[in-house]
Chain A
């Protein structure tokens, strides 16, 4: 019976199509009448199961855009839909991994990962059983009863990924999740993330300021301009995985993306 149910779960097909339509965001300050425009008329579509990177110079509004998709912030105009339904607020269908360490320090790793299921009203013991596989997926079996302060930065972000996945989201939003990690840990986690992406049928939207990261990870790179953020170019990365970090094709692409970024620097 248990196996049958598990099988059902795997068969259940998740859709994760995101449509971003004419999104603008203006931050207004109370004292002044003028506002800062962070995003200007941004539109793009994300296919189901696609791995998208948002890349742009710092302050271009890529994080703001991701937070609007998460429902943590609101747009000034435009609309974002997930499978056709407009996004109005946070929802467990859209998981998020933050740049800062966001594990709840008062909960052990396994209790962090079960948090989402608990909020859905699932019994704690039952939820614990269900999340085991996600903890295994990120390789933290040995640390499941540890508290976050006992983990390294890389392990904390792994646990945060497991916590977001445990809710079985349709889209996984990642806001520079490896930004605070050292280069080696970063490479390892990128490879692991790709494995997870291949195993689970989840759409990934990944914000980064690292060209290397975008080139290694994504199906398409959404390049943004300096503030106010607009779409500069959508670069298709048509390279087979696993990608070498130094092959001529990857270098060529990196070169192209870097040149686009540099243009933005001189525009200012």
Chain B
């Protein structure tokens, strides 16, 4: 056990050292040079603030709220974006019909939808989820579409001569697996955008809880140490979601590309 611990330290020595030095510099600058908890809370301040919200249970409630907003957005974006991308990629006429609408809606920054989100959904979880959806759906549509456009013709023809001739079967057995790397890349981009939208939506009073809300709330209270705690939390949760997704995808969905894509 002890050996393994030492080994891990040896293997990731440079990474660990770099982090420790960065934290040390931060602590020194905050504590000795700036000497103002409002302008720059120190590492120690942040750690104690973190334990305070863990103790009060606030951190769990807010993280769960944010994850709920994110889940609403991602489920809606999947449910609408993937089928739409598939239809546009497979049927030329459908693409011609849908593409102009998408090209007009897409450049609208997702945050511009906030007023309508409030008008339509009120100050509910769905309103925040809608903003996340607005940020996520377009990258998903476009990457699904691109993946479908790039399905090599030879796979479709090979499937046809093997007896797979119906559109539905060709989509299910050939186009979706072939387009999967592109769809997955779209989902990852979308998750990054969605996470940013989530924070902004919660800050702009679409919600009365959540990690983004807490940043704004604590800013009003001038508790910058808590602002920083929630900022770091957002970073860590976002990182965790991305890592989890990538791990799942590489192991399950994209096993067949191992070695071709690093």
Contact = CB atoms under 8 A, between A and B. Distances in A.
Interface of A: 70-72, 89-92, 94-96, 98, 100-102, 104-107, 115-116, 119-120, 147-150, 160, 163-164, 167, 173
B157 A98 contact: yes
- Taking chain A's interface residues, is the majority helix, strand, or loop, or is none over half, making it mixed? loop
Interface string B165-188: 100010001100110100000000
B162 A167 contact: yes
B76 interface: no
A95 B163 CA distance: 9
Interface of B: 152, 154-155, 157-165, 169, 173-174, 177-178, 180, 255-260
Given A98-B154, A106-B177, A106-B178, A147 B255 contact: yes
Contacts of A102: 154-155, 157-158
Contacts of A173: 161
Contacts of A120: 163
B154 A119 contact: no
Nearest to B155: A104
B256 A90 contact: no
B163 A96 contact: no
Determine which residue in B154, B162, B173 has the highest number of CB atoms from chain A within 10 A of its CB, and name it. B162
B174 A90 contact: no
Contacts of A105: 178, 256-257
B165 A90 contact: yes
11 contacts: A90-B160, A91-B163, A94-B161, A102-B154, A107-B177, A120-B163, A147-B255, A149-B257, A150-B259, A167-B162, A173-B161
A119 B169 contact: yes
B161 A95 contact: yes
A106 B256 contact: yes
A106 B159 contact: no
Contacts of A160: 158
Contacts of B174: 104
A149 B155 contact: no
Given A98-B154, A102-B154, A104-B174, A119 B256 contact: no
A116 B162 contact: yes
A194 B234 CA distance: 64
B178 A92 contact: no
Contacts of B159: 104, 115, 119
